[in-house]
Amino acid sequence: MRRLVPALLALALAATACGSERPVTATIESRTLTVFAAASLTESFGTLGKRFEERNSGVTVKFSFEGSSALVQKLTQGAKADIFASADQANMDKAAKGEVLDGQPSVFATNRLAIVVGKGNPKGIKGLADLAKDGLTVVVCAPQVPCGAAAKKVQQTSGVTLKPASEEQDVKSVLAKVRSGDADAGLVYVTDATSAAKQVDKVDFPESAGAVNSYPIAVVKDAPQADLARRFREFVLSAEGKQELAKAGFGAP
């Protein structure tokens, strides 16, 4: 009987130890995908980013929305990102020349300009020529920004010369000035006018057909999350991605 006591005690201790062990649970690795994208992609890419997160556990999509020229400058100066989506081919070409891309870019959408005015169109603006009239405060994008380059081309092809009160660094800044009442009108993309339909009115003009911008997307060289970057790029180029972009007002590539 005395010999059984140590043995029983040892078994009891072993059982206690086993019972105190916590079940092992699998952990999901957290990863952040960094996307540099043109300001005009804010709404559509924001939606696509959320869907991408839902389908890729542990992934967070971090966006940096600015003018395409500013984003290219950051990339060529060493900023880390996984994806670059430009609002025109010219700035994507600059990125390629700066050797910051991994592979060839793919065009995923197109966009064109529209005039935005205050709700109710208080100045009665009907077309591009009206923006050249005296007494109007008009804002456009700076020439190095894709929407500014498009505005410049439209003026050249139409013969209408604008005298803007300011030249903004991205299309959202133009929209903000019209929305706040600091400007009577501005040249933005159709997509931006659509996204702000509750705050501004849109005036289409036929001359915009002469300056259609193509939107290319590419994986960035030495991307920290290269596999995710390629997956996101394919998602944007997919039928679902194109459907969401079309809903926002973008044209097909």
Instruction: List binding-site positions for molybdate.
Output: 40, 68, 171, 189
CA distances in angstroms from 135 to 131, 183, 209, listed in the order given: 10, 11, 27
How big, in percent rounded to 5, are the helix, strand and coil portions of the chain? 45, 25, 30
For 9-18, b/e burial (b = at least 16 CB within 10 A) is eeeeeeeeee
Place of tokens 């109007």: 136
Tell which residue, 80, 49, 75, 77, has the closest CA to residue 63. 49
Q: How far apart are CA 60 and CA 49, in angstroms?
A: 8
Task: State the DSSP string of 68-90.
Answer: HHHHHHHHHTT---SEEE-SSHH
Largest CA distance in the chain: 111
Q: Which helix (H) or strand (E) covers residue 99, if one does?
A: none
Strand, helix or coil at 115? strand
Binding site: residue ranges? Answer: 40, 68, 171, 189
Tokens of 78: 């060493």
Q: How far apart are CA 156 and CA 162, in angstroms?
A: 10
